[in-house]
A and B are shown apart, each in its own frame.
Chain A
């Protein structure tokens, strides 16, 4: 995505401040660490370094090294330890620095954490939060740029959260930590510096509630994570051409608010799904299928996907920039649905 310096999204709250997404995540972690002694953070460089993204800065000073633990570079091990702790009374937050490293964690997530509650007939539970990242265009090449949220969304038993704004990130992360299930929480690396309004006081945001980021009549753009900004910019472009676009952010892929997505699709009759995972077998495919199944008779055109190209993320900026959806490409696809291409 192109990084917006500041996006003021409409939210009505008393005592609003403008803070970055990184600060919002930091506040959520600090508040939950204060609120519940069972919460702890574990990950590579989460203590003094505050992670490479400086998201956890200051937490070890307040909560100490017993609750903010610098771990070895052992992604599977820390997730396994987080799971065992979660099963025995703790609420761990495991930091997996880059989403690409989820590949190292998949047994612990997919075979272990996701299935504990089900396989035990409901007798064990795993209130584990795994925070990780997604997103390309950081010039980080193929092993530090992937958006692998579809991988974990495919496994029943995991919840999957993709916040797009500082407000959403804070409220959803607090909900994740309090949830009794394993939750994988994806933050786009390119959004950490994005600022937005966040209220002073305590709040949480429920899972399974999509948020309409912009209302419109002619076309629905369903967008996840940082693609919400791409969609909002596309909507601005479309507005200049007299097209009214609605932008819907599912916020959580699991559980998914089908109702809001489908209602918007029925209202506009045209849908583009924008997601930074690869196109084939991706989150965008599932979202498109949900809409096609439940809103087919209201649709004026096929549901379209705008997702990452099916190539490993290349290093060279000239190559990398082609691989992800842009406001131009999303606007263009939207217009094609209206016969305006």
Chain B
């Protein structure tokens, strides 16, 4: 059972260029994060989203500002795609006061409530309840908000996902489950950990599902738009399986990967299925913009990212006295 065969919403010039810019922003951001880690300027670790940009951007472009998302440990892309500012994200990654969470969350816990981002989550599958609860809330409050729940294929091993999918289907909740299959549960290929088909899990609950090319942002946008509109109409949850690939390791420190995947495999994805190349080629072929304009967009977001990182590096840490604040509200 697929989500109904409504024609894909047309991607016009404005949307295509905005998606290209957002994807470039995520790529530039993540590459800068990698540099910050390698130069020992960033505390802790980060899990880079490079290679998966089309999923976050395709889904979030189908959402409204007041719609909700929940994100994962590999969450920078979702956060930026939902509207977060580069500067405040860098501040959070560096543990600075100006960060989205005043430096208390860091890479794996950025939340941006102004844009409906209920937070990244360091427990695999940990935010599936939150997303489904946000959808429950939207329905109970009589709003027409939708919640999108991002998770990797590794979360298919977590029981709570199936508990909440069952209730989302039972109660017709406006939630879109977005499974990003980048093939690797940390350092293990998903075929070693996952029995049966991915989308079949949704089928068991009677949840409409689609399997799609997660490197083609137009395909993601089209499927997400159908799922989001379906949810907004009160017709319940959907489940999207987006085939994608993470260019870097599980985290920034995972640089020797030959024991679990080959260089050839990595190079093939980068050469043949890069989401930015695919979109860029389409934009040029359709005559929506020329190479020079796209190059300018790239240069512009790279400058924005460089400035954001510099700002964050110079920004003050929170006052040490804040350690005891925000344990309890009110």
| Residues of chain A whose beta carbon lies under 8 Å from any beta carbon of chain B | 38, 40, 66, 69, 71-72, 74, 76-90, 92, 107-108, 111-112, 115-125, 127, 156-157, 159, 179-181
CB <8 Å contact, B102 and A112: no
For the complex, give the distance between the alpha carbons of A38 and B141 in Å: 8
Given contacts A89-B137, A90-B140, 12 further A-B contacts (CB under 8 A): A82-B133, A83-B130, A84-B133, A84-B147, A87-B118, A88-B68, A88-B137, A112-B123, A117-B329, A119-B104, A124-B119, A181-B329
Partner of A119, one of B105, B136, B137, B325: B105
Q: Which of B101, B122, B131, B147 has the most chain A CB within a 10 Å cutoff?
A: B101
CB <8 Å contact, A85 and B326: no
For the complex, give the distance between the alpha carbons of A108 and B325 in Å: 22
Q: Which of B68, B121, B160 has the most chain A CB within a 10 Å cutoff?
A: B160
Residues in B neighbouring A108, C-beta threshold 8 A? 129, 160
For the complex, give the distance between the alpha carbons of A107 and B161 in Å: 13
For the complex, give the distance between the alpha carbons of A151 and B171 in Å: 32
CB <8 Å contact, B129 and A180: no
For the complex, give the distance between the alpha carbons of A313 and B291 in Å: 72
Partner of A88, one of B123, B133, B326: B133
* 8 A-B pairs whose Cβ atoms sit less than 8 Å apart in the complex: A71-B167, A76-B159, A77-B164, A84-B147, A85-B134, A112-B130, A119-B109, A120-B101
Residues in B neighbouring A119, C-beta threshold 8 A? 101, 104-105, 109, 111, 119
How many B residues touch A, CB cutoff 8 Å?
47
CB <8 Å contact, A118 and B166: no
Residues in B neighbouring A179, C-beta threshold 8 A? 330
For the complex, give the distance between the alpha carbons of A340 and B102 in Å: 57
Partner of B140, one of A80, A85, A120: A85
In the complex, whether B170 has a CB less than 8 A from a CB of chain A is: yes
Near A by CB (< 8 A), chain B positions 130-171 give 130-138, 140-141, 147, 159-160, 163-164, 166-167, 170-171
A119-B105, A120-B105, A124-B113 given; A74·B133 CB < 8 A = no
CB <8 Å contact, A80 and B129: yes
Determine how close the nearest CB of chain B comes to the CB of A96; give it in whole angstroms: 14
CB <8 Å contact, B126 and A74: no
A72-B167, A119-B109, A181-B330 given; A87·B101 CB < 8 A = no
CB <8 Å contact, B329 and A85: no
Across the interface, name the chain B residue whose C-beta is closest to A125: B329
CB <8 Å contact, A81 and B132: yes
Number of A-B contacts (CB under 8 A): 152
Determine how close the nearest CB of chain B comes to the CB of A326; give it in whole angstroms: 36
CB <8 Å contact, B133 and A40: no
CB <8 Å contact, A89 and B129: no
CB <8 Å contact, B328 and A72: no
CB <8 Å contact, A112 and B126: yes
CB <8 Å contact, A77 and B129: yes
Across the interface, name the chain A residue whose C-beta is closest to B326: A122
CB <8 Å contact, A107 and B159: no
CB <8 Å contact, B329 and A74: no
Partner of B133, one of A38, A80, A115, A124: A80
Residues in A neighbouring B90, C-beta threshold 8 A? none
Determine how close the nearest CB of chain B comes to the CB of A65; give it in whole angstroms: 10
CB <8 Å contact, B101 and A74: no
CB <8 Å contact, B133 and A157: no
Determine how close the nearest CB of chain A comes to the CB of B82; give it in whole angstroms: 15
For the complex, give the distance between the alpha carbons of A77 and B16 in Å: 38
A117-B328, A157-B328 given; A107·B102 CB < 8 A = no
CB <8 Å contact, A121 and B137: no
Residues in A neighbouring B136, C-beta threshold 8 A? 81, 84-85, 90
CB <8 Å contact, B163 and A76: yes
Partner of B166, one of A72, A87, A88: A72
For the complex, give the distance between the alpha carbons of A117 and B325 in Å: 10
Residues in A neighbouring B105, C-beta threshold 8 A? 119-121
